[in-house]
Amino acid sequence: MIQLREIKKTYVLGKTKVEALKGINLRVKKGEFVCVVGPSGSGKSTLLNIIGCLDQPDSGEVIVDNEKITNLNRNQLADFRANKIGFIFQSFNLIPVLNVYENIELPLLFMREQMPAKEKRAKIMQLIEEVGLKNEVSHKPDELSGGQRQRVAIARALVTGPKIVLADEPTANLDSATAQTIISLMRRLNEEEKVTFIFSTHDLSVTKYATNLYQLKDGRLVE
């Protein structure tokens, strides 16, 4: 499903060069629930951004769903993300002017092929039910708690039926009880929807749900 070969990435921050990834090799199979742990600044976000086609490595090869994404242009990458990848962000990144339903519906607008209205509505409502927000359908993000917002983000990530969901520190802005609930929800959806999940965290208490656990240390991945 995902194959990373000798991925290297260096950032220039002002006058300093930061070697975020120093030759990452990774294989993720379909349906796995992968967790990447590591302290802040260890390169977790960079790794997820590269897998998610948001960033390009300086060298190395990235193959996602049998497609070598390092060869794709900006528009092709956008298409790839819209159709095959779902994102869950640390700070939720919901659109404040849209309600729960509309936020979940948003990625469908970016897909190459539009879903028929009935099917779309059924899919959104099913996800809303699965993430337990049936009573908050018309609520705007500022009317929701942190946990509820992240549930919306999870539903939004799954609405397009992606092959992979990438979650960059999805529990960082949540209290520990909510964090456990969110990760267990992700795990349940991973099992039910057979979607590959890769999430990063520095909270070791949520790593127990992972089928595969990797540690990112000094730009290198350790299983």
Partner 1 sequence: MALLRKAIRQTANLAIKNIGRHPIKNILVGLVIILAGNIFLVTGSLADNSRKNWRHFFASTFLGDYNLTAYKGKQKDFTLPVLSLPDTFIPTQLYEELEKQGVAYTKRIKLGAVVYNEENGDFEGTPVTILGVDLAEEYKRLSNLQFTAGTINPELAEGVLVWAELADYYRWTVGKEITLFLEDIDGNTLPFDFTITGIISNKTGKALDGTGSIPLFPLVFVSYEYLNLLLGLEEDAATDLAVWDQTLQHETELKGLAKKHGLQFFYGEQGFEVIWGVIEFIYFIGIFIEVFILVVLVVSTFNLNMMGFFERKKELGTMYALGAKSGLIVSLFLMEMIIFTVVAFGCSVLLYLLISLATARGLELGGGLGLAFAGAKVHLQLVPSVAFVAFLAIILAMIGSSIYPVYLTTKINPVEVFREAEI
Kindly list the residues in this chain that would bind partner 1 in the complex (CB under 8 A): 45, 49, 52, 54-55, 74-75, 78-83, 85, 87, 89, 91, 93, 95-98, 102, 105-107, 109-111, 114, 117, 156, 160
User: Which is closer to partner 1, CB of 91 or CB of 126?
Assistant: 91
User: Which is closer to partner 1, CB of 15 or CB of 177?
Assistant: 15
User: Which is closer to partner 1, CB of 96 or CB of 177?
Assistant: 96
Q: Minimum Å distance from CB 196 to partner 1?
A: 17
Q: Minimum Å distance from CB 113 to partner 1?
A: 8
User: Which is closer to partner 1, CB of 81 or CB of 187?
Assistant: 81
Q: Minimum Å distance from CB 81 to partner 1?
A: 4
Q: Minimum Å distance from CB 171 to partner 1?
A: 16
User: Which is closer to partner 1, CB of 76 or CB of 184?
Assistant: 76
In Å, what is the CA distance from 209 to each residue of 32, 37, 60, 188? 11, 13, 30, 10
Q: Minimum Å distance from CB 82 to partner 1?
A: 2
Q: Minimum Å distance from CB 107 to partner 1?
A: 5
Q: Return d(Cα 161, Cα 104) in angstroms, integer.
A: 12
Give the residues across from 10 on adjacent strands: 19
User: Which is closer to partner 1, CB of 80 or CB of 212?
Assistant: 80
Which residue do the tokens 């959806």 mark?
A: 189
